[in-house]
Structure 1
Amino acid sequence: MKSGSLVAGRYRLDRPIAAGGMGEVWRGFDLVLERPVAVKLQRRGLGSSLGGGDRFAREAKILAGLSGPGLPEVYDYGEHASRRWTERFIIMELIEGTPLSTLIQERGPLTPDETLRHLTAAADALAIAHARGVVHRDIKPSNLLIEPGGNLRIVDFGISLADGDARLTSADDIMGTTSYVSPEQISRNETSGAADLYALGAVAYECLTGRPPFTADHPREVLYKHLHEEPPPLPDHIPSDAAAVVARCLRKEPDERWPTAKDLAAACATARLQSTVDLPAPPTGSRRPVRAVIVAAAVLLPALITGVTMWHPWIPADGRPEADPVVFRSPGVPPEATAAAVSGIDEPTEPVPAVAAVTTPPSGAVVTSPLPTSSLQQPPQTFDVLPDVTGMDAAEAQAHLNDRGWPDVRIAPTLLFTGAQPEGCEIVSQDPEPGRTVGYDQPVEIAYWGLHDCP
C-alpha cells in the first residue's frame, strides 16, 4: 500500500506510523465522516499461517466489545479478497499520545505519585476488560500511551484472550513480553486477569526504578528469575504504601495478588493519597532544595518580567497574538507518540523545522514557535525504539530494520523457542527486545527456529 490509497473506498491512507509482525498501522482519514483514524492492515500472507487471519479478526471483535476510559475505540472492520490473499483491516480511534516507555527512557524514573496515577488508570481500564472476560496478556510500558492531558490509554490487544475463545497458539506457547510475563504463564501456560496485574506490577517497578524487575543477558534467564527469584528491593525513598502495592502485584502465585483489577486501582488510589501526606525526601542530589528554588525564582522574576515587556517577538504590532504554535515530535520519540491505538512499533521521525524555538512540556511533545531572525539546527538522530519484527520472514525483517536505520542486523538460528515450531525462516525472537531504545550503531540479532540456513 502507498500514501493516498483507499481502503474499502472510504479510508484514505496518509502515512505509515507503525509496522510489525502482524501488520502495519497507518494514519488515515475517513472521507465519509471527515475525521482522522488509525488504519491497521494485516500483513499480506499472514492470514494463511499460524492462525494469523483468525487472530486479526478476533482482535477487532475483542476491541469492539470493550468501551470505557483508557480503552481505544474500534470504528470498523472489513475484509477484501483478491486472487492471492484476503486483505483485512481494522479502523480505530487515532490516539495522540506518548508511550510510557518513552517517558521512562527520556526522563528516567517517575515519581511515586506519577507511577500510582498511571497504575490506577491502567487498572481501571483492565477492570473493564476483565469484566468482559478479556485478558490483555501483553501489558508493558510501550502499550500504555499517555495523552497530552495526562490520560492513560491501553493499546495493542493483538494477543489478548477472551473467555470461550479457542486458543490460537499451542499449549506450550508463551504469549507476552519477557520482562513482564507472569510466572504461571511461563510454567503452566495459565492466563487470567492476575497475569495482567503481575505485568502492571512489573511496569510500576520500571516506572519507579527505570528498569524492569528482572534483567539478564538472555530472555531465558529473565524467565527463570520470574519463576524463582524476588525482584531487587525498591529504593528507600519510595513510600512504603506504594512499595507494598507493587510487591503484592509481583507475587509468584496468582491468588496472592490483588483479587481484581478494581481492587488494585483502589489500593493505588489509597497509596497515592498516603504518599502525598508522607512526602518522602528525594534521593540526595536528585533535586535542589525547594527553598533554593523559591529564592532563585524571587531573584529572577523581576528580570524576566522586564525582559518580556521589552521584547515580545511573538506578539505583532496590533497586539493580537499569532496562531497557536505547531506541535512536533522530537527526534527519538517513537511513532506511537502520534499514532495508533494498536502497536508496539514505530513510525518515521518527522524533522523539526530549522527555524524554531524548542520547549518540552511534561507530556513529551515538542512545541515550536518561530524565531524572528535566527535558526537552530537539530542534531542527526542516532537512536530509536526498536520495532517488533517477530513473525516476519528473516529477509523481510532484516530489510525492515535496515530501512529503519540499523545497518548491522544479524540473522541466526535458535532452538530456544517453545510452542508450535514455525516453518521456513520466520523470526521468533530478537535481541535487543522490541520496544527498547537502541543506537543505530548497535548490532541487532534476529533469530529463526531450526538449524537450516536462511538468507
Structure 2
Amino acid sequence: MEEPRRLGGRYELGHVLGRGGMAEVHLAHDTRLGRTVAVKTLRADLARDPSFQARFRREAQSAASLNHPAIVAVYDTGEDYIEGISIPYIVMEYVDGSTLRELLHSGRKLLPERTLEMTIGILQALEYSHRAGIVHRDIKPANVMLTRNGQVKVMDFGIARAMGDSGMTMTQTAAVIGTAQYLSPEQAKGEQVDARSDLYSTGCLLYELLTVRPPFVGDSPVAVAYQHVREEPQPPSVFDPRSRPRWTRSS
C-alpha cells in the first residue's frame, strides 16, 4: 500500500477536497497533534516565483492572527518539495460542510431571511478582520463555507493580495482566481483597495444568494469588470419577487 504524501514531516495528505484557479485543498491528518486539518497547496507555476512565495507566506501569517468564529482558522504555513518544486502550503481548520458556491450550483433557492443571516455572518467576520487592518479582497461564494449546523466561515484572507502584488492587473488576477463577478469598481480600475471593497463584494454575493445569479455576467473578466464600473445591476426582485424592495436597495 502506497504511503500517504507527508508535508513538513507532519501533515499526511488525503483526498482532494477542492480545486481552484490557484490552488488545491486536501483533507489531511496532523500526525503531531492527531487532528484532521485542511491543507491548501499552491499551483506549481506560482510556486516557482520566489517573490510570490514570500508574499504568500507574509499574507498567510497575517491571516493566522485572526481568531473569530466566522473565520476559518489558519494553523500553520510552510514549504515542501513536490515533484522537485518547492510548494508553499497553508494548514487550516477543517470545516465539515460546503461552500456557498456548491450551494448555489445545486440550484436551490434560499429564503431571503436565510440569505440575510448568512450575509450577517460574513459581515461579522469582515468587521473583525478590518479592525485588525486586514482586507480580504476576494469575497466570493467559493471563499465562504457553511457548516452542517448552518454557521458561516470565511476563508482565504490575504491570498488575493499576494496575487495582486505579483504584477498582474486586477482583471488578470480575477481571471486566474475567478472573481470578476465580485470585483469592486476600484479593484476593476486597479485603484487603492480598502475595507469598502469587501463590503461591495459582499453585496454582490448577497445579490447572487437572492437571485442565484451574479449581478453582472459577460464573455470575459474584462467585460464583467467594465460593468462593475459603468453599469447598474437589475434589482434582485426582477429575478426573485420574494426580495423585498428595502433589501434590493441594500444589495
When the two structures are superposed, what TM-score results if normalisation uses the length of structure 2?
A: 0.85
Amino acid at match of 2:154: I
What pairs up with 1:328-407 in 2 under 5 angstroms? none
Residue number in structure 2 paired with 1:49: 49
Task: Flag structure 1 segments of 5+ consecutive residues without an equivalent.
Answer: 247-455
* RMSD of aligned alpha carbons: 2.6
Q: CA separation of 1:108/1:217 partners in 2, compared to 1, >3 Å: closer, same or farther?
A: farther
Q: Does 1:241 align with 2:246?
A: yes
Q: CA separation of 1:73/1:98 partners in 2, compared to 1, >3 Å: closer, same or farther?
A: same
Residue number in structure 1 paired with 2:204: 202
- Per-residue CA deviations over 1:341-399 (Å, capped at 9, x if unaligned) read xxxxxxxxxxxxxxxxxxxxxxxxxxxxxxxxxxxxxxxxxxxxxxxxxxxxxxxxxxx
- Counterpart CA distance in 2 for 1:169 and 1:198 is 23
1:135 aligns to what SS in structure 2? coil
Amino acid at match of 1:102: E
- Per-residue CA deviations over 1:76-105 (Å, capped at 9, x if unaligned) read 222347995434332211111111122222
Q: CA separation of 1:85/1:141 partners in 2, compared to 1, >3 Å: closer, same or farther?
A: closer
1:195 aligns to what SS in structure 2? helix
Residue number in structure 1 paired with 2:123: 123
Q: CA separation of 1:80/1:100 partners in 2, compared to 1, >3 Å: closer, same or farther?
A: closer
Residue number in structure 1 paired with 2:166: 169
- Per-residue CA deviations over 1:106-145 (Å, capped at 9, x if unaligned) read 2443221011101100000011111111111111112111
1:67 Cα offset (Å): 0.9
- Counterpart CA distance in 2 for 1:210 and 1:20 is 20
Question: What is the aligned-residue identity percentage?
Answer: 35
- Counterpart CA distance in 2 for 1:198 and 1:3 is 46
- Counterpart CA distance in 1 for 2:82 and 2:215 is 47
Residue number in structure 1 paired with 2:12: 12
Structure number having the greater helix percentage: 2
Q: CA separation of 1:108/1:81 partners in 2, compared to 1, >3 Å: closer, same or farther?
A: closer
- Counterpart CA distance in 2 for 1:63 and 1:70 is 13
Given that 1:42 and 1:56 are in contact with CA atoms closer than 8 Å, whether structure 2 keeps it comes out as no
- Per-residue CA deviations over 1:34-66 (Å, capped at 9, x if unaligned) read 111112233345333283312331232122111
- Per-residue CA deviations over 1:181-230 (Å, capped at 9, x if unaligned) read 01111124221111111111111111111111111233332222111111
Given that 1:47 and 1:54 are in contact with CA atoms closer than 8 Å, whether structure 2 keeps it comes out as no
What pairs up with 1:3-402 in 2 under 5 angstroms? 4-44=4-44, 46-49=46-49, 51-80=51-80, 85-157=85-157, 159-161=159-161, 168-170=165-167, 172-174=169-171, 175-176=173-174, 177-235=179-237, 236-246=241-251
